[in-house]
Amino acid sequence: MNFVLYSFAGIFLSLLLTTIPLMAQIDRETGEPFSTRSEVIAQRGMVATSQPLATQVGLDVLRRGGNAIDAAIAANAAMGLMEPTGNGIGGDLFALIWHEESGQIYALNASGRSPGDLSYDRLMEILDEKGENSIPAYDLLSVSVPGAVDGWFEMHERFGSMAMDQILDEPIYYAEEGFPVSEAIASAWQRGVNFLRNQPGAFEETFTIEGRAPEKGDVFKNPDLGNTFRLLAGQGRDAFYRGEIARNIDEWMREYDGYLRFEDFDKHTSEWVDPVTVNYRGYDIYQIGGNNQGTAVLQMLNILEGYDLASKGFASEETLHLMTEAKKLTFEDRAKHYADPDFYNQPIDHLLSKEYAAERRSLIGERAMRDVATGVDVMEDGDTIYLTTADKDGNMVSLIQSNFRGMGTGFVVPGTGFSFQNRGELFSLDPDHPNVYAPGKRPFHTIIPGFAMKDGKPWFSFGNMGGGYQPVGHLSIITNVIDFGMNIQEAGDAMRWMHLGGSEPTDSADARMTGTGRLHLESSIDYGIVRALRARGHTVRIGEAFFGRYQGIMRDHERGVYFGASESRVDGQAAGY
């Protein structure tokens, strides 16, 4: 009797899973569910971050009458406190903002510049004295001016609606009274402390609890960061760039033979730029170009638009082959032509033309390419956070912010509560390279926010952290939704891939990819696909790579709701009201 009941229950459950739309989150390879949870759906506002308490900080701003821009600033401040393993006010920021009232999308480049008094020749002398042939990641040579704070105030001045002291009140509370550290962040925090505890400055007293990294559930406080937030709330951006904080940084840099000076902070400015965009199957996809790698997303989409991906199927042998080859071709352009536009006239129109995409597409054959170069004459590591917000009026923010390598350099000026980024590591030293080091120059950046429009209306704010993975992550999310019909939570939960190998923006100007590189796939891939890709000449690995973290908000104009999604592999949360 029990056997009959159990059999009937199994048949009923099987029918339920195949007939009810809510349960139809099915892996197109195995037939098994892969989505970890449903999308979050709300009408008046949405926030998605990689730390649930930071999500609630942003949501609280929306509930108190702030807009999406205010919420993004508050959530970012909370993230710098709660996930210092990926971001903080010692780093840089990029944002794409849909402003409902003006009906426009705005792009903000809030990345900092190299020291104004450190010449290329002097840099090369110092590197020679140190026995280095590149800019070391954990050296004061890699520290550029932090741009995040200026980015907050630029966003706020142009679009904010709530006073900055109100925006920062919850981050100040958590900094002074403490917050419980979440699981994935605790693991990364341990690695950061083990690696950086001996850096000069106040790293250990700032980021440890009696000399040890906080564990999951430990309540952590950073009163120095709370005080820095109070200065910003009361005195504005000038407290950071022209006041007490800038003077303290100057003094500390001089004491430890660093290179940034008060004048570098005083001269710093963010820049509102024209976003770069291409149309992909009727959707307008936006990125920030110039000295970041967002252009690579658009180049890959242009190449892949020439194939019917939907008919080939998600994560099929042919789809993965085509995407990998498009990535190889695009990343060679990335290595040669993505640099500070103040120092280099990037051939953006040519790089994003459909004609150039067709030229590059014609190089893709049935087997993995082994020798790839840029088609235009002339970093796979990194920790970051991505967040997105939306409000009742229709404003949407796509924001990414980073220290670059985890907790950055580990250099902490006593009393400030934050670590400096090491983004300056990403300059090339080849004088013929567009991304070559120069004083007062912005280095190449891996961090990219994404945004998509449909029929002239804001549709999808999305992004993922993960160093050189980020363009591949954007490509995967967009094609998962547009080509393979996934909802935005499914799109993030689906099996991920990454290709490693090829030239970097830190290489010489004449570098090119040789060999096939390595194609890394998450373990849910069908092994028959792996064998087929290897037969095409790809070197395939299961795992052994970092596949980033994703958040997204989609706007449904017909229903008047937002759909939210967040990274299921770590501590992320999307929440609305």
Query: What's the whole-model pTM score?
Result: 0.92
Query: Is 391 inside a domain boundary?
Result: no
Contact assessment for residue 438 and residue 120, using Cβ atoms and an 8 Å cutoff? yes
| Chosen domain end from 372, 393, 426 | 426
* Separation of alpha carbons 155 and 80, rounded Å: 17
CA distances (Å), 404 to each of 152, 190, 367, 423, in order?
A: 18, 17, 35, 6
68: nearest Cα among 464, 553, 573, 572: 553
Residue 432 lies in a domain: no
The boundaries of the domain holding residue 331 are: 273-382+446-576
How many structural domains comprise the chain?
Answer: 3
Token pair 């009140």: residue: 169
Q: How many CA atoms lie within 13 A of 445 on its CB side?
A: 34
Q: Do 282 and 263 belong to one domain?
A: no
The 3-state secondary structure of 448-496, one letter per residue: CCEEEEECCEEEEEEEEECHHHHHHHHHHHHHHHHCCCCCHHHHHHCCC
Whether 512 and 546 share a structural domain: yes
- Spatial CB neighbours of 407, under 8 Å, sequence gap ≥ 6: 84, 85, 189, 192, 196, 207, 383, 419
Non-local (6+) Cβ contacts of 490 within 8 A are: 25, 34, 35, 480
Q: Which residues of the chain have pLDDT under 50?
A: 1-25, 28-31, 33, 378-380
Task: Output the pLDDT for position 7.
Answer: 37
State the Cα–Cα distance between residues 436 and 115, nearest whole angstrom. Answer: 14
* SS3 label, residue 105: strand
Per the DSSP assignment, residues forming a β-bridge with 566 are 551
Distance separating alpha carbons of residues 274 and 286, to the nearest angstrom: 10
Residues of the chain with pLDDT > 90, as a percent, come to 85
Note the pLDDT tens digit of each residue in 405-457: 989 999 999 999 999 999 999 999 999 999 999 999 999 999 999 999 999 99
Domain CATH number, residue 333: 3.60.20.40
Do the domain assignments include residue 45?
no
Name 575's bridge partners.
47
Q: Which of 392, 426, 460 lies at the terminal end of a domain, its last residue?
A: 426
Among residues 403, 112, 120, 409, the alpha carbon closest in space to that of 266 is found at 112
Q: In this structure, are 217 and 360 located in the same domain?
A: no
Q: Which residues contact 531 (CB under 8 A, 6 or more apart)?
A: none
Q: Does residue 197 share a domain with residue 144?
A: yes
Instruction: Please tell me whether residues 456 and 414 are part of one structural domain.
Output: no
Residue 501 covered by a domain: yes
Q: Classify residue 207: in a domain, yes or no.
A: yes
Query: Do residues 175 and 251 both lie within one domain?
Result: yes
Tell me the pairing of strands 518-521 and 497-500.
antiparallel
370 and 417 together in one domain: no
Residue 39 domain-assigned (yes or no): no
pLDDT tens digits, 390-403: 999 999 999 999 99
Tokens of 174: 């958590």
| DSSP H/E element including 40 | strand 40-42
Identify whether the C-beta of residue 305 lies closer than 8 Å to the C-beta of residue 318.
Answer: no
The answer to whether residues 266 and 287 belong to one domain is no
What per-residue confidence (pLDDT) applies to 376? 60
Full 3-state SS string of 216-275: CCCEECCHHHHHHHHHHHHHCCHHHHCCHHHHHHHHHHHHCCCCCCHHHHHHCCCEEECC
> What one-letter code names the amino acid at 285?
I
Note whether residue 389 is domain-resident.
Answer: no
Same domain flag for 78 and 202: yes
Q: Is residue 388 one of the residues assigned to a domain?
A: no
| % of the chain exceeding 70 in pLDDT | 93
Q: Are residues 77 and 22 in the same domain?
A: no
User: Residue 281: phi, psi to the nearest 5?
Assistant: 55, 40
Query: Both 421 and 557 in a single domain?
Result: no
Please indicate, yes or no, whether residues 345 and 297 belong to a single structural domain of this protein: yes
Residue of 309, 341, 308, 304 whose CA lies nearest to 325? 304
Sheet holding 561-566, edge to edge: 40-42, 561-566, 549-556, 457-465, 450-454, 283-287, 276-280
* pLDDT value of residue 178: 98
Tokens of 50: 């990689």
> Taking a C-beta distance cutoff of 8 angstroms, is the pair 462, 477 a contact?
yes
